[in-house]
A and B are shown apart, each in its own frame.
Chain A
Protein backbone atom coordinates (compact mmCIF):
# COMPACT_ATOMS: atom_id res chain seq x y z
CA UNK A 1 0.00 0.00 0.00
CA UNK A 2 2.99 2.26 0.32
CA UNK A 3 3.93 2.06 -3.32
CA UNK A 4 4.99 5.24 -5.14
CA UNK A 5 2.08 6.93 -6.96
CA UNK A 6 -0.56 5.64 -4.63
CA UNK A 7 -0.91 8.96 -2.70
CA UNK A 8 -3.95 11.26 -2.96
CA UNK A 9 -4.73 12.51 -6.45
CA UNK A 10 -5.84 16.04 -5.45
CA UNK A 11 -2.45 17.81 -5.23
CA UNK A 12 -1.52 16.63 -8.72
CA UNK A 13 -4.87 17.70 -10.19
CA UNK A 14 -4.66 21.03 -8.36
CA UNK A 15 -1.13 21.53 -9.69
CA UNK A 16 -2.24 20.77 -13.23
CA UNK A 17 -5.27 23.08 -13.01
CA UNK A 18 -3.08 25.91 -11.69
CA UNK A 19 -0.62 25.44 -14.55
CA UNK A 20 -3.41 25.34 -17.07
CA UNK A 21 -4.90 28.53 -15.64
CA UNK A 22 -1.54 30.26 -15.71
CA UNK A 23 -0.80 29.42 -19.34
CA UNK A 24 -4.37 30.29 -20.36
CA UNK A 25 -4.06 33.75 -18.80
CA UNK A 26 -0.70 34.22 -20.53
CA UNK A 27 -2.17 33.14 -23.87
CA UNK A 28 -5.19 35.48 -23.50
CA UNK A 29 -2.87 38.38 -22.59
CA UNK A 30 -0.61 37.85 -25.63
CA UNK A 31 -3.53 37.28 -27.99
CA UNK A 32 -5.39 40.34 -26.67
CA UNK A 33 -2.28 42.51 -27.02
CA UNK A 34 -1.74 41.42 -30.61
CA UNK A 35 -5.32 42.25 -31.65
CA UNK A 36 -5.22 45.69 -30.06
CA UNK A 37 -6.98 48.19 -32.35
CA UNK A 38 -4.36 50.90 -31.77
CA UNK A 39 -1.69 48.83 -33.54
CA UNK A 40 -3.93 48.14 -36.52
CA UNK A 41 -5.06 51.75 -36.80
CA UNK A 42 -1.48 53.01 -36.89
CA UNK A 43 -0.32 50.35 -39.34
CA UNK A 44 -3.21 50.89 -41.78
CA UNK A 45 -3.05 54.72 -41.60
CA UNK A 46 0.67 54.73 -42.37
CA UNK A 47 0.34 52.13 -45.10
CA UNK A 48 -2.40 54.11 -46.87
CA UNK A 49 -0.46 57.38 -46.50
CA UNK A 50 2.64 55.79 -48.07
CA UNK A 51 0.55 54.36 -50.92
CA UNK A 52 -0.87 57.82 -51.63
CA UNK A 53 2.60 59.42 -51.48
CA UNK A 54 4.13 56.91 -53.88
CA UNK A 55 1.28 56.70 -56.38
CA UNK A 56 0.60 58.58 -59.59
CA UNK A 57 -2.54 59.68 -61.36
CA UNK A 58 -4.64 56.79 -62.71
CA UNK A 59 -3.29 54.12 -60.38
CA UNK A 60 -5.64 51.76 -58.56
CA UNK A 61 -4.88 49.83 -55.37
CA UNK A 62 -6.61 47.08 -53.47
CA UNK A 63 -5.56 46.84 -49.83
CA UNK A 64 -6.45 43.75 -47.80
CA UNK A 65 -8.32 45.14 -44.78
CA UNK A 66 -9.63 41.85 -43.39
CA UNK A 67 -7.84 42.04 -40.03
CA UNK A 68 -8.88 45.66 -39.52
CA UNK A 69 -12.53 44.91 -40.24
CA UNK A 70 -12.41 41.97 -37.86
CA UNK A 71 -11.05 44.17 -35.06
CA UNK A 72 -13.78 46.77 -35.75
CA UNK A 73 -16.43 44.03 -35.66
CA UNK A 74 -15.00 42.72 -32.39
CA UNK A 75 -15.23 46.24 -30.94
CA UNK A 76 -18.83 46.64 -32.22
CA UNK A 77 -17.73 49.72 -34.13
CA UNK A 78 -20.07 50.65 -36.97
CA UNK A 79 -18.80 54.15 -37.87
CA UNK A 80 -16.52 55.25 -40.69
CA UNK A 81 -13.40 53.07 -40.63
CA UNK A 82 -11.20 54.91 -43.14
CA UNK A 83 -11.48 58.59 -44.00
CA UNK A 84 -9.13 60.52 -46.26
CA UNK A 85 -9.31 64.29 -45.79
CA UNK A 86 -7.95 65.86 -48.97
CA UNK A 87 -7.97 69.39 -47.50
CA UNK A 88 -5.82 68.43 -44.53
CA UNK A 89 -3.95 65.67 -46.42
CA UNK A 90 -4.80 63.30 -43.61
CA UNK A 91 -5.57 59.58 -43.59
CA UNK A 92 -7.63 58.64 -40.55
CA UNK A 93 -8.31 55.05 -39.47
CA UNK A 94 -10.75 54.25 -36.67
CA UNK A 95 -11.53 50.73 -35.46
CA UNK A 96 -13.32 51.48 -32.18
CA UNK A 97 -15.36 54.27 -30.59
CA UNK A 98 -12.56 55.20 -28.22
CA UNK A 99 -9.57 55.27 -30.53
CA UNK A 100 -8.36 56.46 -33.95
CA UNK A 101 -5.11 57.29 -35.71
CA UNK A 102 -4.30 59.92 -38.34
CA UNK A 103 -1.25 60.24 -40.59
CA UNK A 104 -0.50 62.91 -43.19
CA UNK A 105 0.43 62.32 -46.80
CA UNK A 106 2.28 64.87 -48.95
CA UNK A 107 1.01 63.98 -52.40
CA UNK A 108 -1.21 66.51 -54.16
CA UNK A 109 -3.22 63.93 -56.10
CA UNK A 110 -6.92 63.43 -55.49
CA UNK A 111 -8.30 60.13 -54.26
CA UNK A 112 -11.48 58.02 -54.44
CA UNK A 113 -11.82 55.14 -52.04
CA UNK A 114 -14.30 52.61 -50.75
CA UNK A 115 -14.62 49.05 -49.48
CA UNK A 116 -15.24 46.09 -51.73
CA UNK A 117 -15.75 43.15 -49.38
CA UNK A 118 -12.66 42.92 -47.18
CA UNK A 119 -10.57 45.09 -49.51
CA UNK A 120 -10.10 48.84 -49.49
CA UNK A 121 -10.06 50.09 -53.07
CA UNK A 122 -8.09 53.29 -53.69
CA UNK A 123 -8.23 55.15 -57.00
CA UNK A 124 -5.75 57.97 -57.61
CA UNK A 125 -7.03 61.04 -59.50
CA UNK A 126 -5.04 63.85 -61.04
CA UNK A 127 -6.44 66.65 -58.92
CA UNK A 128 -8.22 66.85 -55.60
CA UNK A 129 -11.25 68.65 -57.03
CA UNK A 130 -11.92 66.45 -60.05
Chain B
Protein backbone atom coordinates (compact mmCIF):
# COMPACT_ATOMS: atom_id res chain seq x y z
CA UNK B 1 0.00 0.00 0.00
CA UNK B 2 2.81 2.34 1.01
CA UNK B 3 4.69 1.63 -2.23
CA UNK B 4 1.61 2.43 -4.28
CA UNK B 5 1.17 5.78 -2.56
CA UNK B 6 4.86 6.48 -3.10
CA UNK B 7 4.64 5.64 -6.81
CA UNK B 8 1.62 7.93 -7.25
CA UNK B 9 3.52 10.77 -5.61
CA UNK B 10 6.60 9.97 -7.64
CA UNK B 11 4.52 10.04 -10.82
CA UNK B 12 3.02 13.39 -9.81
CA UNK B 13 6.50 14.80 -9.17
CA UNK B 14 7.70 13.62 -12.60
CA UNK B 15 4.72 15.18 -14.36
CA UNK B 16 5.27 18.45 -12.49
CA UNK B 17 8.98 18.40 -13.31
CA UNK B 18 8.28 17.73 -17.00
CA UNK B 19 5.78 20.59 -17.13
CA UNK B 20 8.09 23.08 -15.43
CA UNK B 21 11.07 22.19 -17.64
CA UNK B 22 8.99 22.23 -20.86
CA UNK B 23 7.34 25.56 -20.09
CA UNK B 24 10.69 27.07 -19.06
CA UNK B 25 12.45 25.88 -22.20
CA UNK B 26 9.64 27.01 -24.51
CA UNK B 27 9.47 30.48 -22.88
CA UNK B 28 13.26 30.90 -22.92
CA UNK B 29 13.83 29.83 -26.53
CA UNK B 30 10.78 31.51 -28.04
CA UNK B 31 11.65 34.93 -26.66
CA UNK B 32 13.14 37.43 -29.10
CA UNK B 33 16.73 38.57 -28.95
CA UNK B 34 16.02 42.29 -28.67
CA UNK B 35 18.86 44.45 -30.01
CA UNK B 36 16.79 47.56 -30.85
CA UNK B 37 18.12 49.62 -27.96
CA UNK B 38 21.66 48.66 -28.96
CA UNK B 39 20.93 49.69 -32.56
CA UNK B 40 19.52 53.04 -31.46
CA UNK B 41 22.59 53.60 -29.28
CA UNK B 42 25.03 52.70 -32.08
CA UNK B 43 23.28 55.04 -34.52
CA UNK B 44 23.29 57.81 -31.92
CA UNK B 45 27.01 57.45 -31.28
CA UNK B 46 27.76 57.24 -35.02
CA UNK B 47 25.98 60.55 -35.69
CA UNK B 48 27.57 62.11 -32.62
CA UNK B 49 31.07 61.12 -33.71
CA UNK B 50 30.64 62.42 -37.23
CA UNK B 51 29.20 65.79 -36.15
CA UNK B 52 31.63 66.57 -33.30
CA UNK B 53 35.37 66.13 -33.71
CA UNK B 54 37.67 66.93 -30.76
CA UNK B 55 34.89 68.89 -29.13
CA UNK B 56 34.24 71.13 -32.16
CA UNK B 57 31.12 70.88 -34.29
CA UNK B 58 31.77 70.29 -37.96
CA UNK B 59 32.08 73.62 -39.79
CA UNK B 60 29.35 72.89 -42.31
CA UNK B 61 26.78 71.76 -39.73
CA UNK B 62 24.26 74.29 -41.04
CA UNK B 63 24.17 72.54 -44.42
CA UNK B 64 25.06 69.07 -43.30
CA UNK B 65 23.95 65.95 -45.15
CA UNK B 66 23.75 63.32 -42.39
CA UNK B 67 23.18 60.36 -44.68
CA UNK B 68 26.19 61.14 -46.83
CA UNK B 69 28.64 62.32 -44.19
CA UNK B 70 27.81 59.85 -41.41
CA UNK B 71 27.73 56.72 -43.59
CA UNK B 72 24.07 56.07 -42.91
CA UNK B 73 22.09 54.33 -45.61
CA UNK B 74 19.03 55.87 -47.23
CA UNK B 75 16.83 53.02 -45.87
CA UNK B 76 16.77 54.97 -42.60
CA UNK B 77 14.95 57.82 -44.32
CA UNK B 78 12.61 55.78 -46.51
CA UNK B 79 8.87 55.68 -46.07
CA UNK B 80 7.85 53.07 -43.50
CA UNK B 81 11.39 53.03 -42.12
CA UNK B 82 12.07 51.10 -38.92
CA UNK B 83 14.24 53.96 -37.71
CA UNK B 84 13.76 57.53 -36.56
CA UNK B 85 16.36 60.23 -35.90
CA UNK B 86 15.97 63.75 -34.55
CA UNK B 87 18.94 66.08 -34.18
CA UNK B 88 18.72 69.49 -32.48
CA UNK B 89 21.43 72.15 -32.38
CA UNK B 90 21.13 74.74 -29.61
CA UNK B 91 23.38 77.39 -28.14
CA UNK B 92 24.08 77.73 -24.44
CA UNK B 93 20.90 79.70 -23.88
CA UNK B 94 18.66 77.14 -25.56
CA UNK B 95 18.33 79.14 -28.80
CA UNK B 96 18.12 77.10 -31.97
CA UNK B 97 21.26 77.28 -34.12
CA UNK B 98 19.73 75.57 -37.13
CA UNK B 99 16.50 73.79 -37.89
CA UNK B 100 16.23 70.26 -36.52
CA UNK B 101 17.19 67.35 -38.72
CA UNK B 102 14.69 64.49 -39.02
CA UNK B 103 15.20 61.11 -40.60
CA UNK B 104 12.66 58.31 -40.87
CA UNK B 105 9.07 58.19 -39.75
CA UNK B 106 8.35 61.32 -37.66
CA UNK B 107 5.21 59.83 -36.16
CA UNK B 108 7.41 57.40 -34.24
CA UNK B 109 8.87 60.18 -32.06
CA UNK B 110 5.83 59.81 -29.79
CA UNK B 111 6.94 56.27 -28.98
CA UNK B 112 10.00 57.67 -27.22
CA UNK B 113 7.76 59.85 -25.06
CA UNK B 114 5.61 56.83 -24.25
CA UNK B 115 8.71 54.85 -23.32
CA UNK B 116 9.78 57.63 -20.96
CA UNK B 117 6.37 57.71 -19.33
CA UNK B 118 6.46 53.96 -18.88
CA UNK B 119 3.60 53.28 -21.29
CA UNK B 120 4.20 49.88 -22.84
CA UNK B 121 3.32 49.00 -26.41
CA UNK B 122 4.08 45.75 -28.19
CA UNK B 123 5.30 47.45 -31.36
CA UNK B 124 6.93 50.49 -29.77
CA UNK B 125 10.51 51.03 -30.83
CA UNK B 126 13.41 51.43 -28.43
CA UNK B 127 14.92 54.91 -28.08
CA UNK B 128 18.24 56.38 -27.08
CA UNK B 129 18.75 60.07 -26.31
CA UNK B 130 22.06 61.80 -25.85
CA UNK B 131 23.22 65.37 -25.28
CA UNK B 132 26.73 66.62 -25.86
CA UNK B 133 28.30 70.07 -25.66
CA UNK B 134 30.41 71.43 -28.51
CA UNK B 135 32.46 74.50 -29.39
CA UNK B 136 31.71 76.73 -32.34
CA UNK B 137 32.77 80.32 -33.11
CA UNK B 138 34.20 80.75 -29.57
CA UNK B 139 30.86 79.75 -28.05
CA UNK B 140 29.44 76.61 -26.59
CA UNK B 141 26.44 74.77 -28.01
CA UNK B 142 24.50 71.62 -27.23
CA UNK B 143 23.83 68.79 -29.65
CA UNK B 144 20.76 66.69 -28.84
CA UNK B 145 20.31 63.43 -30.69
CA UNK B 146 17.31 61.14 -30.37
CA UNK B 147 17.39 57.80 -32.20
CA UNK B 148 14.83 55.02 -32.37
CA UNK B 149 14.83 51.51 -33.77
CA UNK B 150 11.68 49.45 -34.11
CA UNK B 151 13.11 46.80 -36.35
CA UNK B 152 11.81 43.25 -36.19
CA UNK B 153 13.61 40.62 -38.23
CA UNK B 154 12.34 38.74 -41.25
CA UNK B 155 11.59 35.06 -40.82
CA UNK B 156 11.45 32.80 -43.86
- Taking the closest CB of chain A, its distance from the CB of B100, in whole angstroms, is 20
Decide: A50 near B151, CB < 8 A? Known: A30-B25, A34-B29: no
CB-CB < 8 A to B151: which residues of A? Answer: 103-104
Bound complex: CA A94 to CA B156 (Å): 9
Chain B proximity mask over A5-37: 1 for CB below 8 Å, otherwise 0: 000000100010001001000100110011010
Interface residues on chain A, number (Cβ under 8 Å) = 38
Contact in complex: A102, B42 (CB < 8 Å): no
Which residues of B94-124 are within 8 A (CB) of A?
none
Cross-chain contact B22 with A29 (CB below 8 angstroms): yes
**CB <8 Å contact, A46 and B71:** no
B54 interface contact, C-beta 8 A: no
Q: Is the CB of A103 within 8 A of B153?
A: yes
* Residues of A that sit less than 8 Å from B by CB: 11, 15, 19, 22, 26, 29-30, 33-34, 36, 38-39, 42-43, 45-46, 49-50, 53-54, 56-57, 88-90, 94, 98-109
